[in-house]
Amino acid sequence: MLRTLLALMLLSFGCFGSQNPLQARIDALSEGEVLTLSAAEYLGPLVIDKAIAIVGEPGTIIDAGGKGSAVTIKAAGVRLQGLEIRNWGGDLYEHDSGVRLLPGADDVRLLQLELSGPGFGIHGEQLKRPEVEYCHISGDDRRYLLDRGDGIFLKYVEAPELHHNQIASVRDGIYLENVDASRVSHNQFSRQQYGIHYMYTRNDSAWNNSAKWLQGGYALMSSKGITLEHNQVSAAIDFGILLNVTQQSEVHHNRVATIHNPKGDPAIASEGKGLFIYGAADNRISHNHFGNSDTGISVALGGEGNSLWRNNIENNQTQVRYVGSKSQEWSLLGQGNYWSSYQGWDLDGDGIGDTPYLPNDALDRLFWLYPEARWLMDSPVVLLLRWLQRQLALAEDIGIRDSFPLLQPIDITLKQEMKTNSQQSDEETHYAQH
C-alpha cells in the first residue's frame, strides 16, 4: 500500500514537473497583460486562451518540436510580436501551423514574426479582423509544391489586414476562401504556386504586392468585387493574373512581364499568359502592362463581356489568343490599347490609329482549333491568304477588335513603390511602441 502511494506521488510530481514552463507563465497571466520574453529558445506547443500580448526581444525563439502547431490562439484580442517560431509539424489535414487561429479568435495581431516550418505559416477560420504585418514566412522547399502549407490561410474570415509580409517556399503565399473585405498590400511572394489566391471571396483589395519566380501571380477565382491595382508579377510560369469565373472586379495599373512556360505547348494552351480570362465577365481591365510573355492575353470558355482599354500589350510572342466565335471590342469611349505589333497610320495626329487593330485573324483561329496543321503557318500559301484577307477585308466579324489603337504606350506609374528597408524599419519601430 505504501509502495503504491509512493508511486502515485512520484507520477504526480513527474507530470507537474514536465509542464511547459512558458505555458505555465502564459496561464498565470491575467487578461490584458503583456509578457515580454528575453532572448532564449522556448519549447512549444503553446495555447493562448485569453486576451494577452507576448512580445519577444531579439533572439526569442519558440520551437514546436517538429509536430502539431507551435502556437494555438483560442481567444480574441491576442497580440504576438517579435517572435521567431519554427519547427512545427507538416500535417496539412491537421492544419499544423506556426500560428493557428481557432474560430472566434477575433482582432488578433501578428506583428514582426519569423515563421519557418513545413505546414501552414498562419491558419485561421471563422474569425474577424486579423492583422498580419511585417512577418517573414518560409516553408520547406524540399517538399513537393502542393504538399506544403500556405503562408497565410484564411477561411470564413471578415476584414483581414495583411501588409508588408515576405512569404517564400510555400504552396500559396496568401490563400483566401469565403473571405469578405480583405486588404492585402506591400507583400512579397516568391518560389510558390500563387502569390494571392482568392476563392469565393467578396469585396477585396490588393495593392503594391510583388511576386516573382512562381507558378502564377494573382489568381482571382469564383469571386466578386475584387480591386487588384498597382501590383507586379514577373518570371511566372502559368499566368500573371488569372480571372476565373470572377465578376465585377477592377484590374488596373498592374505590371505583368516575362510569363514563360518552358514546357508550354500552344496546341493545348499551356503556354505562359500575362492575363488569362477564363469564364469571367463584367470586369474592367485598364492601365496594365502585359509584356514579354508567351501570350499577352488569353481568353477562353466564355470569357467575353469584359471591358479592356488603355493597356500596354507589348512584345509578346502571341499578343492575344481567342478561339471563341463572338466579336469583342477592346476599347472604351474612343480609347483603345497600345499594341507593339500595330502597324497602322495616324494621319490626323490624334494619337489613335486610323484603322482598327485585329490581333488575330481567321487563320490564327483555324490553327488553334487544329494544331496539327501548325506546320503550314509560315507557308507561302498561308502568307498570301493573310495578305489578301487584310487587303480585301475578308475577316469575319468575330474575334478581338480594337477600333481605337493607341500609337504610344501609356504611362503606368505604381501608386506607391515598395518601401525601402529604412522606411520599413521606421514603421516596425512604430509598431513596437504600440
Q: Say what the pTM is.
A: 0.87
User: Is pLDDT at 337 greater than 70 in this prediction?
Assistant: yes
The number of distinct structural domains making up the chain is 1
Q: Would you say residue 81 lies in a domain? A: yes
- Interval 388-393 mean pLDDT: 48
Mean pLDDT of the chain: 88
What amino acid occupies position 116? S
- β-bridge mates for residue 62, sequence order: 42, 85
Query: According to the model, what pLDDT value does residue 397 have?
Result: 62
Q: Would you say residue 115 lies in a domain? A: yes
Q: Would you say residue 417 lies in a domain? A: no
The model's pLDDT over 263-320, given as tens digits with 9 standing for 90+, comes to 998 778 899 999 999 999 999 999 999 999 999 999 988 778 999 999 999 999 999 9
How many other C-beta atoms are found inside a 10 Å radius of the C-beta of residue 34? Answer: 11
More confident residue, 385 or 72: 72
- Interval 372-395 mean pLDDT: 48
Question: For residues 347, 349, 354 and 360, what is the CA-based torsion angle, rounded to 10 degrees?
Answer: 120
Query: According to the model, what pLDDT value does residue 248 have?
Result: 98
Range name among 329-333, 335-339, 362-366 with the lowest pLDDT average: 362-366
Phi first, then psi: what are they for 224, rounded to 5°?
-145, 135
What amino acid occupies position 17? G
The model's pLDDT over 400-427, given as tens digits with 9 standing for 90+, comes to 999 999 999 999 987 765 443 444 444 4
Q: Would you say residue 57 lies in a domain? A: yes
Q: Would you say residue 39 lies in a domain? A: yes
- Helix axis angle for 380-392 and 362-369, nearest 10°, is 140
What's the N-to-C CA distance of the chain in angstroms? 59
Q: Would you say residue 87 lies in a domain? A: yes
Domain that holds residue 120: 23-147
The model's pLDDT over 168-218, given as tens digits with 9 standing for 90+, comes to 999 999 999 999 999 999 999 999 999 999 999 999 999 999 999 999 999
Q: Would you say residue 173 lies in a domain? A: no
| Strand residue runs (E) in 134-259 | 136-138, 152-158, 161-163, 166-168, 172-177, 183-185, 188-190, 194-199, 205-207, 210-221, 227-229, 232-244, 250-252, 255-257
- Interval 124-135 mean pLDDT: 99
Query: According to the model, what pLDDT value does residue 414 have?
Result: 75
Q: Would you say residue 181 lies in a domain? A: no
Per-residue H/E/C for 281-292: ECCEEECCEEEC
More confident residue, 301 or 14: 301
Q: Which contacts of 348-351 are long-range, i.e. CB under 8 A and separated by 24 or more positions?
A: 351/406, 351/407, 351/408
